[in-house]
Structure 1
Amino acid sequence: MELVLPYLESEGFKQGLLHDYRFRHQDFLNSTFMEMPDDLGTGKLILFSKKNFHFFRGKWNFGEETIFHSPHKVGENDLMDFRISTEGKISSNLISGEKEFEHDTTDIDGMRIFIPKNLFPKDNGLLMEKLNNAERNYLSQEKLKTIFDTPFEDFSGSIILESRILEFLSYWIHYLLSDEKTFESKKAFEEKIKLAKDFVDTNAFRELAIKEISRYCGLNNCDLKKGFKDYTQLPIRQYIIKTRMEAARQMLLETEKSVGEIGDSIGYCNRGHFSQLYQRYFGKLPSEERL
């Protein structure tokens, strides 16, 4: 069987599936949920269409060997194509230097993304190197895993799925536009998170900005926040409060310092705010700890 569809035009792609191949569909906000007719096989996809780019997540199996063709030539409509599998393999016809879209589409579980090609450098050799590096990158693979772990049985999961794809795109486009040659390995990333935790532990009793921690450990804010929470099971701000509260309790039980002195020493000049946080954390006021 041959599947022939416009590939670089989201509305044409959608209408081709609906009218030429009788896919069932349901529109929801800026997404369309489509399901394959039973006589062709089993499967579904969700298509997201933006102003100047589009992407879809799909999983299907045609009942017979099926080859995809498109009347669009690679690079038309000023779009760059990316194909991403659940195994984390990322490829692009444009970057690979191919002229035609022709793929075995019999059994697919993955994602397709089409982005304006003028966003990226024209050096396909550099882009190919970065594609290969991305497949070995811990953070890139983790972000993809959240996408592929998101169910899309119907349109109800589309908002979560869209947000996770956009998060990956933000990370991915930043990398393609950067001068970086490689992504962080898992080991290097974990070392930087440990460095961030040590820095927070040392400086928890003073005002700490996320940007300061980010600069110290060498991670961007988004990756720092996610990695820190995965490592400590708490967001950075909550981890700082926990550290302060545990130190305050120890001082209350082991020293003669006043509640005000203890609050000042751990970074709370407002005694009422300190007492409120302490009560929320331990279920009693700091003044009640010594009773």
Structure 2
Amino acid sequence: MELLLPYLEPDGFKQGLMKDYRFCDKDFLNSTVLEMPEDLGTGKLILFNKRNFHFFRGTWNFHEETIFHSPHKVGDNGMMDFRINKEGKISSNFINNEKEFEHNTTDIDGVRIFVPKSLFPKDNGLLKEKLENAQRNYMSQDKLKTIFDTPFDDASCSIILESRILEFLSYWIHYLLSDEKTFEHKKAFEDKIKLAKDFVDTNAFQALAIREISRYCGLNSSDLKKGFKDYTQLPIHQYIIKARMETARSMLLETEKSVGEISDFIGYNNRGHFSQLYLRHFGKLPSEERL
């Protein structure tokens, strides 16, 4: 089967899916959900159309092998394309100097983003190098993971999905426009923050001092605290408490260990202190979890 659609025009893309391939549409705020007819396959996509750029998130599976073609040539309408799959691989026909849009679209779980090419330098060689380097950047991959972890079972999910794609796009554009040395310095900092998080995850049930984590990851305490909170959305102390409480809850529900044993295991010798933290975190006491 061949899918022929105007790739770089969101309205034409939407109308083509509806008119030529019988997709059903449902508008919600600034998004449109397009659902595949059952005789073609299963799946849907959510399309977001902005003033001078657009993007969509989709997952679908055609019953037969399907090749996508577009009457648009790569770079038409002044647009640059990005294709992102669930594994975090990012590709671009424009950056790879391809002339035609032709992809196997039989089974897709991905994101497509279209932005003005005028935003970026004309040196595609430099952009291609940055594109390859970005595959190793965990911050980029972490932001992509939040996109793919966001459900889009119905249109109401689109608000969260849109915000997460825009967050990634902001980071992504900043990276492509940044000086490579500046970005590499930032990447080295991010790697140290990830090292700190891994260390905390491994030792969350032990008494951890900030200076100990700082020495381990090679950052001063001020940079460590700020970077850790930016990455995890929690201060280090709160992150440790959260990890301990979630482990305690799993043990209460899945083991026969007493509250006291669990309290000791996760690093609290004072059972009363543990119980108050648990109450604050889950709205009930540990002793009430098994009732």
Normalised to the residue count of structure 2, the TM-score between the two structures is: 0.70
The residue aligned with 1:124 is: 124
Deviation of 1:227 after TM superposition, in Å, equals 1.8
Whether 1:184 and 2:187 are equivalent positions in the alignment is: yes
CA–CA distance in structure 1, aligned partners of residues 106 and 232 of structure 2? 41
CA–CA distance in structure 1, aligned partners of residues 237 and 160 of structure 2? 22
The residue aligned with 2:48 is: 48
Q: Is the 8 A contact 1:89 1:135 kept in 2?
A: yes
Deviation of 1:217 after TM superposition, in Å, equals 3.0
Deviation of 1:40 after TM superposition, in Å, equals 0.4
How big is each residue's C-alpha offset from its partner over 1:193-237, in whole Å with a ceiling of 9 and x where there is no partner? Answer: 89xx948x99xxxxxxxxxx99x6399x7x6543253572648xx
The residue aligned with 2:266 is: none
Amino acid at match of 2:53: F
CA–CA distance in structure 2, aligned partners of residues 166 and 116 of structure 1? 15
**Within 5 Å, which residues of 2 pair with 1:213-252?**
217=223, 225-227=229-231, 229=233, 232=236, 234=238
Structure 1 residues 217 and 161: alpha-carbon distance in aligned structure 2, compared to 1, 3 A threshold: same
Question: Mean alpha-carbon deviation: is it higher for 226-235 or for 43-52?
Answer: 226-235
**Within 5 Å, which residues of 2 pair with 1:112-191?**
112-181=112-181, 182=184, 184=187, 187-190=191-194
CA–CA distance in structure 1, aligned partners of residues 224 and 91 of structure 2? 29
| Cα root mean square deviation, aligned | 3.3
Q: Is the 8 A contact 2:228 2:234 kept in 1?
A: no
Normalised to the residue count of structure 1, the TM-score between the two structures is: 0.70
How big is each residue's C-alpha offset from its partner over 1:95-122, in whole Å with a ceiling of 9 and x where there is no partner? Answer: 0000000000001000000000010111
SS of the residue corresponding to residue 82 of structure 1 reads: strand
CA–CA distance in structure 2, aligned partners of residues 122 and 44 of structure 1? 35
**Within 5 Å, which residues of 2 pair with 1:1-291?**
1-181=1-181, 182=184, 184=187, 187-190=191-194, 198=210, 217=223, 225-227=229-231, 229=233, 232=236, 234=238
CA–CA distance in structure 2, aligned partners of residues 177 and 2 of structure 1? 36
Which 4+ residue blocks in structure 1 deviate beyond 4 angstroms?
191-194
- Look at both structures and tell me which one has the larger radius of gyration over its CA atoms: 1
CA–CA distance in structure 2, aligned partners of residues 31 and 172 of structure 1? 22
Amino acid at match of 2:79: L
Deviation of 1:125 after TM superposition, in Å, equals 1.1
Q: How many residues align?
A: 228
How big is each residue's C-alpha offset from its partner over 1:7-50, in whole Å with a ceiling of 9 and x where there is no partner? Answer: 00000000000111000110011100010000100110000000
Amino acid at match of 2:151: P
Q: Is the 8 A contact 2:36 2:43 kept in 1?
A: yes
Deviation of 1:130 after TM superposition, in Å, equals 1.1
Structure 1 residues 63 and 164: alpha-carbon distance in aligned structure 2, compared to 1, 3 A threshold: same
CA–CA distance in structure 2, aligned partners of residues 61 and 81 of structure 1? 22
Q: Is the 8 A contact 2:45 2:57 kept in 1?
A: yes
CA–CA distance in structure 2, aligned partners of residues 233 and 119 of structure 1? 41
Structure 1 residues 155 and 120: alpha-carbon distance in aligned structure 2, compared to 1, 3 A threshold: same
CA–CA distance in structure 2, aligned partners of residues 44 and 228 of structure 1? 31
SS of the residue corresponding to residue 141 of structure 1 reads: helix
Q: Is the 8 A contact 1:150 1:161 kept in 2?
A: yes
Identity of aligned residues (%): 67
CA–CA distance in structure 1, aligned partners of residues 128 and 20 of structure 2? 35
